[in-house]
Amino acid sequence: MDTRHPPITPLVSTGRPRPVTGGEEREGPPVDWGATENAVASPPLRETGSSRHVSLTIGIVGLPNVGKSTLFNALTKNEVLAANYPFATIEPNVGVVGVPDPRLDKLAEIFQSQRVLPATVDFVDIAGIVRGASEGEGLGNKFLANIRESDAICQVIRAFKDDNVVHVDGKISPGDDIETINTELILADIQTIEKVLPRLEKEARVKKDKQPQLKAVQAAKDILDEGRTLFSAGLAQGTEEAAPLHELHLLTTKPFIYVFNVDEDELTDESFKDEQRALIAPAEAVFLNAKLEADLAELDEAEALELLHTVGQEQPGLATLAHVGFTTLGLQTYLTAGPKEARAWTIPRGATAPEAAGVIHTDFQRGFIKAEVISYDDLVTTGSVPEARAAGKARMEGKDYVMRDGDVVEFRFNV
């Protein structure tokens, strides 16, 4: 099981016998989402099998002194070292951050859930990159090893002015900073390819099935030699086009998210923000003030909202960043709820009902029978599961059903 989450009591029920540990047959509870008012059968998760956890890991990178660790402090409310000198972050700091989702609070109200468990994003604060990192300068080798494990790369770009915080290159230039980071990542990928090309060329001469991979790697090198990232050229990790490159773990196949750390008065300066967006289009840009975000993290909800309004914002920049991460990686959430918890589960867009069930536990996918699905909006409108059923808003879906964001689901399975 994924030990990063608290013990879970997933929303499942099955009215037929199912084997448990040791092959013993045990009668499951009857299929009745509304066995009591708004309650569901919610047996504890058995220890056999495991979950198919869909991770979302975003590596936070940037030049030294751009506000990465301040941002990370706000994300996790942890006190990692945020010092004003290069390489203050030597080992990567990892934080698991909940994705804000007001739907869960409403479900918890309907089901009288004891706790709320949002979907999560793993943020990794990685040591500052400098020119020459691809050659091992600074903490280059450690930086590259850590970032390879991330699903997406979040570049924190300094746009704020502060004479007390030195810029590693002596001037504030977001465009130059972006170019420096992209160049180092591109050079690292070129080095990776140059190391494997001789072997691939030799293998392709005797094994014809290696020729497509060789051609793909050569084409990738041509793109990198032009100074372009592979992602921008359509070779995104996890896609069919990039499949021949998978074993190389190339950095620039990862999607980039750009966070501009700006002065407070620039948060509402649309002309300034448009200039920054133009530097990285069509990638997503998030604008925030890292110090402000750190202050918000220490306040209660009412105080935080009041502070946001004073700077013309409706929600924290970190909430925007978490949602952009989900969108960038093609993820969505479905929801389960009961008296013990209301929870969001992360799945790829396009996942089927059995695949979604497997995120909770592999037994759910292996023994999938069907799923009872109610859209979040329909459940809120009707007010309860029995009322949603009575209104014809509850659907029984089979193995081919493609999940939608916000589906409230009860899985039925038998193993």
Q: Which domains does the chain have, with CATH numbers?
A: 28-53+333-413 (3.10.20.30)
Kindly give, in sequence order, each residue whose CB lies less than 8 Å from that of residue 378, ignoring residues fewer than 6 positions away: 388, 391, 393
Q: Which two three-digit tokens encode residue 224?
A: 């990198």
Kindly give, in sequence order, each residue whose CB lies less than 8 Å from that of residue 98, ignoring residues fewer than 6 positions away: 117, 118, 119, 120
- Amino acid at position 294, single letter: A
Please state whether 304 falls in left (phi above 0), alpha (psi between -120 and 50) or beta.
Answer: alpha
When computed from its CA atoms, the radius of gyration of the chain, rounded to whole angstroms, is 24
Q: Which two three-digit tokens encode residue 41?
A: 């059968």
Round to whole Å and give the CA distance between 231 and 282.
11
- Ranges assigned E (strand) in 317-400: 331-337, 341-348, 368-375, 395-397
Residue with token string 């300068």:
137
Round to whole Å and give the CA distance between 251 and 188.
8
Report helix, strand or coil for 331. strand
How many other C-beta atoms lie within 10 A of the C-beta of residue 122?
18
DSSP state of 357: H
How many other C-beta atoms lie within 10 A of the C-beta of residue 274?
11
- Amino acid at position 23, single letter: G
Q: Are the beta carbons of 283 and 327 closer than 8 angstroms?
A: no
What is the total residue count of the chain?
415
What DSSP string runs through 161-182? --TTS--TTSS--HHHHHHHHH
The pLDDT assigned to 52 comes to: 61
Strand partners, 408: 335, 374
Helix (H) or strand (E) holding 24: none
Q: Are the beta carbons of 14 and 412 closer than 8 angstroms?
A: yes
What 3 state SS string does 204-268 have? Answer: HHHCHHHHHHHHHHHHHHHHHHCCCCCCCCCCCCCCCCCHHHHHHCCHHHCCEEEEEECCHHHHH
Tens of each residue's pLDDT in the chain, 415 residues? 333 333 322 333 333 333 222 233 333 333 333 222 332 222 223 233 455 656 678 888 888 888 888 887 787 664 433 433 333 344 557 777 778 899 999 999 999 999 998 888 888 887 656 565 445 554 445 566 777 888 899 999 999 887 666 565 567 789 999 998 899 889 989 999 999 999 999 999 999 888 999 999 999 999 999 999 999 888 888 788 888 998 898 999 999 999 999 999 899 899 999 999 999 988 889 999 988 988 888 888 889 889 988 888 888 888 888 888 888 888 999 999 999 999 999 999 999 999 999 999 999 999 999 999 999 999 999 999 999 999 999 999 999 999 999 999 999 998 8
The pLDDT assigned to 99 comes to: 82
DSSP state of 395: E
Round to whole Å and give the CA distance between 71 and 264.
14
DSSP state of 45: P
The pLDDT assigned to 11 comes to: 34
Round to whole Å and give the CA distance between 182 and 256.
10
Report helix, strand or coil for 16. coil
